């Protein structure tokens, strides 16, 4: 045991002696781990975020398909759906997107029957009132009491009085949201009477959700029921796919780095060769030299791994991942300012280890063997 | 499917490992053919030097293999959310049953590499390296297994089709809703309990007898028992040990034990299981490979047997703990 510790000590002092050569390697190595850890942490955090958000979404959303596109849903489907045992409630939902030509942003416009949100000092929304998200408020420079002007399908500008702005803590849900009364939105978007955009279905027992979705599909063949878990699955695989995509773009960089590491490990300086020659001449075994090289690699890898993951953590969870945002989050003019919950699992760290440290160690095995096989006589004579 | 980061990591590392194994097999062929420990020719010298490289490579492969085993289970677990009806890694493996083969192969390959490293360790303790040719013959057996494992793993990941929303309707309906079994059925509890405790008891008795009486046939008996101990223990974990940890008679998943929810109890459990198997195998293997060389094996064999006995006791203690100290009772 003491022998191994001595070899480790020697390896450490060797690393310090060749400070600049190793520093270059360490910087490149840490940078690589930083990028990859950022990708892994960010996608994982986004996945968890989506999961948490969807927990409060309706169990089943029912759309209608017409000619392969989704179309407005007849409201009388509600009766058919409610008659299925296990369904607590089904209700029509009125919502849509509104492109705001002044700011170039897309708003999500949602109709509510009565205000489901606590309003300061008032009971309910008036038909000409609206509630807006903080993103809408910032881009349009709107505050409570101002007017939000939206242009309806006939080209007439309609002003809505801002009755309130959603707090920023809910910004991932409400950032681009404009809430109107149900009658108002129907009138504004000119949704025909007896139709809704989609239906939301509440189910009492989570294990019945799939069966109920299937029954809806059987009773109303043109419907497209989407369950919450399906949305979740789709998100998960979307994020996995995106992070894998970004990762594979970095595969070139990874390869380049490993070739660099290989090269660094192979190209021994005359001084290093002398050192190894002297060590062998004074009685070090080839396996001791290999062990020393192994420790060197391990120390460098651990340092780079720690630096890379810590900076990756800071980048994603404290700075909001400015470098990767656009690649992984999607695109939109109104981005919610996202405060991600710092979640890291052992799994992320292990994947990171496999993507970086394992290939690095693999790349340095052969060079360190070559170094250990140096013939002391030859080196000392030259 | 291939673009999941965990899958990229697994496929990448298995590509590296396979390249190394192919190289080692090639070098091993030359060693088997030309090795002559009495010769002092240039060829022999270069072969001797090469063995250093090969043993480093194999140690690396062993390490990657062990970590890869856990990474594989973790990845399967991470993917389970994308399959209808899957609750944990079991669901993902059921979604494409080749996964079970991959897992089994990974386990077998881990044992093989550990045995190889063990023989290498013994070899380096002697002057005349008696095991060299046998070791490289073993390497030649291992290499095709590694290649097969890598190909199976690739097929497993290629064959996974996540159930995501399709354009016509939810995936649920396009799949004909066959669904996949979310759990595996365990063997009946009572007989399995008898079998497990009998095997453990025999293992410990034989180990004790060997330590005390040092009879040769006991080594081989112990080796045989170690080989039985591994599958019986895995079957027992599925059948009755894991439900005790979950306190749920229907939950037989052998992988959830590795999760933080259950205090990561799976790690000591599986590691003691693997150590118990390996240390049980070492005395007989060292005897078998020894041939005519003179190694002071006796003392080591006793040491390994003791280590094996302790590992099995640790494993049994962890498994029995919830049976004795939780209020949950699993009726056979």
β-strand A87-100 against A147-151: which pairing, if any? Answer: unpaired
Which residues are within 8 A (CB) of A347 and not within 5 positions of it... i.e. 6 or more apart?
B6, B74, B75, B77, B78
Please report the sign of the dihedral spanned by the C-alpha atoms of residue A223, residue A227, residue A232, residue A233: negative
Q: What was the pLDDT predicted at B178?
A: 45
Q: What was the pLDDT predicted at B181?
A: 52
User: Which among A362, A366, A374, A376 is the top mutation candidate for probing chain B, defined by the most B β-carbons within 10 Å of its own β-carbon?
Assistant: A362
Question: Are A9 and A113 in the same domain?
Answer: no
**What's the CA dihedral at A270, A276, A281, A282 to 10 degrees?**
130
Cα–Cα distance measured from residue B235 to residue B238, given in angstroms and rounded to the nearest whole number: 5
Whether residue B171 lies within 8 A of chain A, CB to CB, comes out as yes
User: Which among B172, B179, B263 is the top mutation candidate for probing chain A, defined by the most A β-carbons within 10 Å of its own β-carbon?
Assistant: B172
Q: Which residue has the higher pLDDT, A144 or A74?
A: A74
Question: Are B236 and B198 in the same domain?
Answer: yes
Q: What was the pLDDT predicted at A355?
A: 92
Whether residue B70 lies within 8 A of chain A, CB to CB, comes out as yes
- Which residue of chain A has the CA closest to B68? A354
Does residue A330 surpass a pLDDT of 70? no
Is there a contact between B170 and A230 if contact means CB atoms under 8 Å apart?
Answer: yes
Does residue A202 surpass a pLDDT of 60? yes
- Which residue of chain B has the CA closest to A291? B56
Tell me, yes or no, whether A213 lies in a domain.
no
Please provide the average confidence, as pLDDT, over all residues in chain A. 85
- The residues with which A227 forms a beta bridge, in sequence order, are A60
How many residues does this entry show for chain A? 382
Q: Six-digit token pair at B141?
A: 């057996």
Classified as helix, coil or strand, A216 is: helix
State the DSSP code for A202: E
- Which residue of chain B has the CA closest to A373? B49
Cα–Cα distance measured from residue A87 to residue A84, given in angstroms and rounded to the nearest whole number: 6
Cα–Cα distance measured from residue B296 to residue B290, given in angstroms and rounded to the nearest whole number: 11
User: Which among A259, A294, A358, A368 is the top mutation candidate for probing chain B, defined by the most B β-carbons within 10 Å of its own β-carbon?
Assistant: A358
Cα–Cα distance measured from residue A328 to residue A45, given in angstroms and rounded to the nearest whole number: 11
Q: Six-digit token pair at A72?
A: 């407005």
Tell me, yes or no, whether A59 lies in a domain.
no
Domain interval for residue A137:
73-196
Q: What was the pLDDT predicted at A74?
A: 93
Q: What was the pLDDT predicted at B177?
A: 40
State the DSSP code for A258: H
Cα–Cα distance measured from residue A182 to residue A112, given in angstroms and rounded to the nearest whole number: 5
Is there a contact between B7 and A68 if contact means CB atoms under 8 Å apart?
Answer: no
The DSSP-derived string for B51-69 is: HHHHHHHHHHHHHHHHHHH
Question: Are A246 and A115 in the same domain?
Answer: no
Cα–Cα distance measured from residue B213 to residue B144, given in angstroms and rounded to the nearest whole number: 40
Whether residue A286 lies within 8 A of chain B, CB to CB, comes out as yes
Question: Are B299 and B199 in the same domain?
Answer: yes
**Number of neighbours of residue A220 by Cβ within 10 angstroms:** 17
- Which residue of chain A has the CA closest to B50? A369
Cα–Cα distance measured from residue A334 to residue A325, given in angstroms and rounded to the nearest whole number: 13
Is there a contact between A233 and B164 if contact means CB atoms under 8 Å apart?
Answer: yes
pLDDT per position as a tens digit, A231-259: 888 888 888 888 888 888 888 888 999 99
Q: Which member of A230, A287, A350 has the closest CB to residue B74?
A: A350
Question: Are A189 and A276 in the same domain?
Answer: no
Is there a contact between A351 and B71 if contact means CB atoms under 8 Å apart?
Answer: yes
Is there a contact between A290 and B52 if contact means CB atoms under 8 Å apart?
Answer: yes
Residues of A in contact with B177 (CB under 8 A): 210, 214
| pTM as predicted | 0.83
Query: How many distinct structural domains can be found in chain B?
Result: 2
User: Which among B66, B88, B169, B264 is the top mutation candidate for probing chain A, defined by the most A β-carbons within 10 Å of its own β-carbon?
Assistant: B169
Residue labelled with tokens 């390249």: B19
State the nearest Cα–Cα gap between A378 and chain B, in angstroms: 16
Question: Are B154 and B282 in the same domain?
Answer: no
Burial pattern A286-306, b for ≥16 Cβ within 10 A else e, equals bebbbbbbbbbbebbbeebbe
Q: Six-digit token pair at A332?
A: 């939109």
Question: Are A117 and A190 in the same domain?
Answer: yes
Share of chain A above pLDDT 90, in %: 26
- B window 80-109, beta carbon within 8 A of A: 81-84
Domain boundary among the residues B122, B145, B162 is at: B162
Q: What was the pLDDT predicted at B308?
A: 93
Is there a contact between A351 and B52 if contact means CB atoms under 8 Å apart?
Answer: no
Tell me, yes or no, whether A216 lies in a domain.
no
Cα–Cα distance measured from residue B240 to residue B186, given in angstroms and rounded to the nearest whole number: 8
Question: Are B16 and B58 in the same domain?
Answer: yes
Is there a contact between B169 and A355 if contact means CB atoms under 8 Å apart?
Answer: no
Which residues are within 8 A (CB) of A131 and not within 5 positions of it... i.e. 6 or more apart?
A115, A117, A119, A125, A162, A163, A164, A165, A166, A177, A178, A179
Cα–Cα distance measured from residue A295 to residue A301, given in angstroms and rounded to the nearest whole number: 10
Cα–Cα distance measured from residue B222 to residue A292, given in angstroms and rounded to the nearest whole number: 38
Instruction: Decide if B284 contacts B231 (C-beta within 8 A).
Output: no
State the nearest Cα–Cα gap between B197 and chain A, in angstroms: 34
The distance of Cα B123 from the centroid of its chain, to the nearest Å, equals: 23
Tell me, yes or no, whether B183 lies in a domain.
no
State the nearest Cα–Cα gap between A241 and chain B, in angstroms: 5
Tell me, yes or no, whether A163 lies in a domain.
yes
Q: Of A4, A133, B102, give the one whose Cα is nearest residue B92.
A: B102
Q: Six-digit token pair at B67?
A: 């970590």
Which residues are within 8 A (CB) of A242 and not within 5 positions of it... i.e. 6 or more apart?
A43, A327, A328
Angle between helical axes of B266-290 and B216-236 (0-180°, round to 10): 150
Q: Of A3, A1, A10, A31, give the one whose Cα is nearest residue A299.
A: A10
β-strand A60-66 against A69-71: which pairing, if any? Answer: antiparallel
Question: Are A282 and A342 in the same domain?
Answer: yes
Q: What is the mean pLDDT of residues A166-187?
A: 81
Question: Are B158 and B194 in the same domain?
Answer: no
Is there a contact between A346 and B53 if contact means CB atoms under 8 Å apart?
Answer: no
Residues of A in contact with B9 (CB under 8 A): 351, 354-355
Question: Are B154 and B260 in the same domain?
Answer: no
Radius of gyration of the CA atoms of chain B, in A: 23
Tell me, yes or no, whether B167 lies in a domain.
no
Question: Are A35 and A94 in the same domain?
Answer: no
Q: What was the pLDDT predicted at A118?
A: 59
Q: What was the pLDDT predicted at A129?
A: 86
Q: Exposed/middle/buried for B194, CB within 10 Å: 0-12, 13-18, 19+? A: exposed
Cα–Cα distance measured from residue A258 to residue A301, given in angstroms and rounded to the nearest whole number: 12
Q: What was the pLDDT predicted at B167?
A: 53
Question: How many angstroms separate the Cα of B26 from the Cα of each of B13, B14, B35, B119, B146?
Answer: 20, 18, 14, 19, 14
Q: What is the mean pLDDT of residues A137-159?
A: 86
Classified as helix, coil or strand, A245 is: helix
Domain interval for residue B51:
5-162
Burial pattern B236-249, b for ≥16 Cβ within 10 A else e, equals bbbbbbbbbbbeee
Question: Are B281 and B195 in the same domain?
Answer: yes
User: Which among A54, A208, A237 is the top mutation candidate for probing chain B, defined by the most B β-carbons within 10 Å of its own β-carbon?
Assistant: A237
Question: Are A49 and A156 in the same domain?
Answer: no
Does residue A115 surpass a pLDDT of 70? no
Tell me, yes or no, whether A356 lies in a domain.
yes
Instruction: Decide if A296 contacts A367 (C-beta within 8 A).
Output: no
Q: What is the mean pLDDT of residues A343-348?
A: 85
How many residues does this entry show for chain B? 332
Whether residue B163 lies within 8 A of chain A, CB to CB, comes out as yes
Question: How many angstroms separate the Cα of B104 from the Cα of each of A44, A69, A95?
Answer: 29, 46, 52
- A window 307-336, beta carbon within 8 A of B: none
Is there a contact between B78 and A346 if contact means CB atoms under 8 Å apart?
Answer: no
Is there a contact between A353 and B67 if contact means CB atoms under 8 Å apart?
Answer: yes
Tell me, yes or no, whether B22 lies in a domain.
yes
- B window 25-54, beta carbon within 8 A of A: 49, 52-53
β-strand A105-112 against A87-100: which pairing, if any? Answer: antiparallel
Question: Are B41 and B157 in the same domain?
Answer: yes
Which residues are within 8 A (CB) of B150 and not within 5 positions of it... i.e. 6 or more apart?
B14, B15, B17, B18
Helix (H) or strand (E) segment spanning residue A118: none
Tell me, yes or no, whether B184 lies in a domain.
no
- Which residue of chain A has the CA closest to B20? A362
Tell me, yes or no, whether B175 lies in a domain.
no
Which residues are within 8 A (CB) of A163 and not within 5 positions of it... i.e. 6 or more apart?
A119, A122, A125, A126, A129, A130, A131, A144
Residue labelled with tokens 């897309």: A106
Q: Six-digit token pair at A277?
A: 């020659």
β-strand A129-132 against A157-165: which pairing, if any? Answer: parallel
Q: What was the pLDDT predicted at A69?
A: 85
Q: Which member of B8, B20, B75 has the closest CB to residue A248?
A: B8
Question: How many angstroms separate the Cα of A170 from the Cα of each of A132, A147, A312, A380?
Answer: 12, 22, 26, 71
Any idea what the Cα angle at residue B103 is, between residues B101 and B107, rounded to 5°?
115
Residue labelled with tokens 């309990």: B193
Q: What is the mean pLDDT of residues A273-291?
A: 88
The answer to which of A25-34, A97-106, B51-60, B168-177 has the lowest mean pLDDT is B168-177
Domain boundary among the residues A171, A196, A221 is at: A196
Q: What was the pLDDT predicted at B318?
A: 93
Query: How many distinct structural domains can be found in chain A?
Result: 2
- The ipTM (two decimal places) reads 0.83
Mean pLDDT of successive 10-residue segments in chain B (332 residues)? 84 94 93 86 89 90 90 88 77 84 92 89 77 87 94 91 61 45 67 91 92 86 92 89 84 82 88 93 84 74 92 94 83 58
Q: Six-digit token pair at A337?
A: 């300012």
Is there a contact between B81 and A236 if contact means CB atoms under 8 Å apart?
Answer: yes
């Amino acid at each position: 045991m003491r022998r191994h510790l001595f070899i480790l000590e020697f390896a450490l002092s060797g690393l310090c002696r060749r400070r600049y050569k190793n520093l270059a390697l360490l910087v490149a190595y840490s940078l690589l781990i930083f990028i990859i850890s950022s990708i892994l942490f960010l996608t994982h955090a986004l996945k968890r975020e989506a999961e948490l958000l969807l927990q409060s979404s309706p169990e089943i959303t029912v759309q209608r398909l017409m000619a392969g596109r989704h179309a407005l849903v007849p409201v009388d489907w509600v009766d058919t759906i409610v008659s299925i045992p296990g369904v607590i409630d089904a209700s029509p939902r009125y919502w849509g997107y509104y492109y705001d030509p002044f700011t170039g942003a897309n708003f999500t416009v949602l109709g509510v029957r009565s205000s489901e949100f606590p309003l300061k000092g008032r009971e309910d929304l008036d038909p000409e009132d609206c509630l807006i998200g903080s993103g809408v408020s910032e881009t349009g420079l709107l505050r409570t009491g101002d007017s939000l002007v939206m242009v309806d399908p006939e080209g007439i500008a309609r002003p809505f009085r801002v009755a309130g702005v959603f707090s920023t803590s809910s910004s991932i849900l409400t950032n681009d949201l404009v809430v109107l009364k149900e009658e108002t939105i129907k009138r504004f978007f000119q949704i025909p009477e007896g139709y809704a955009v989609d239906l939301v279905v509440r189910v009492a027992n989570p294990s019945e959700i799939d069966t109920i979705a299937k029954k809806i599909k059987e009773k109303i063949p043109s419907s497209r029921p989407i369950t919450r878990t399906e949305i979740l699955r789709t998100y998960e695989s979307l994020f996995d796919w995106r992070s894998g995509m970004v990762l594979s773009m970095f595969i070139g960089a990874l390869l380049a780095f490993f070739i660099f590491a290989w090269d660094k490990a192979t190209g021994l300086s005359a001084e290093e060769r002398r050192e190894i020659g002297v060590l062998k001449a004074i009685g070090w075994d080839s396996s001791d030299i290999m062990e020393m090289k192994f420790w060197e690699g391990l120390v460098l890898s651990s340092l780079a791994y720690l630096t890379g993951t810590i900076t990756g953590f800071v980048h994603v969870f404290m700075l909001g991942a400015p470098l990767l945002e656009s690649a992984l989050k999607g695109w939109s003019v109104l981005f919610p300012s996202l405060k991600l919950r710092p979640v890291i699992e052992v799994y992320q760290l292990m994947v990171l280890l496999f993507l970086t440290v394992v290939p690095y160690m693999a790349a340095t095995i052969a060079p360190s063997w070559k170094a250990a096989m140096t013939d002391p006589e030859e080196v000392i004579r030259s | 499917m291939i673009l999941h980061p965990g899958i990229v990591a697994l496929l990448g590392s298995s590509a590296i490992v396979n390249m190394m194994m192919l190289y080692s097999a090639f070098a091993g062929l030359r060693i088997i053919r030309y090795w002559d420990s009495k010769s002092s020719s240039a060829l022999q010298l270069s072969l001797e030097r090469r063995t250093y490289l090969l043993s480093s490579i194999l140690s690396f492969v062993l390490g990657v293999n062990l970590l890869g085993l856990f990474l594989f289970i973790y990845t399967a677990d991470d993917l389970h959310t994308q399959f209808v009806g899957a609750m944990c890694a079991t669901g993902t493996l059921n979604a494409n049953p080749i996964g079970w083969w991959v897992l089994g192969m990974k386990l077998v390959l881990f044992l093989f590499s550990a045995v190889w490293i063990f023989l290498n360790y013994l070899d380096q303790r002697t002057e005349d390296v008696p095991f060299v040719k046998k070791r490289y013959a073993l390497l030649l057996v291992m290499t095709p297994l590694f290649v097969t494992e890598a190909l199976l793993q690739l097929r497993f990941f290629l064959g996974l089709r996540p159930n995501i929303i399709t354009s016509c309707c939810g995936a649920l309906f396009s799949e004909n809703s066959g669904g996949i079994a979310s759990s595996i059925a365990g063997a009946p509890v009572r007989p399995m309990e008898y079998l497990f405790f009998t095997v453990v008891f025999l293992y410990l008795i034989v180990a004790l007898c060997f330590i005390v009486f040092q009879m040769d046939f006991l080594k081989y008996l112990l080796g045989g028992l170690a080989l039985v101990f591994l599958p019986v223990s895995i079957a027992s974990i599925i059948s009755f040990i894991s439900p005790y940890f979950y306190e749920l008679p229907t939950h037989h998943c052998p992988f959830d034990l590795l999760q933080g929810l259950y205090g990561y109890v799976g790690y000591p459990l599986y590691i003691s299981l693997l150590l118990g198997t390996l240390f049980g195998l070492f005395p007989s293997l060292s005897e078998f490979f020894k041939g005519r060389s003179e190694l002071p094996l006796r003392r080591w064999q006793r040491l390994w047997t003791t280590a094996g006995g302790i590992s099995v006791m640790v494993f049994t203690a962890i498994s029995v703990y919830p049976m004795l100290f939780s209020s949950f009772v699993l009726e056979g």
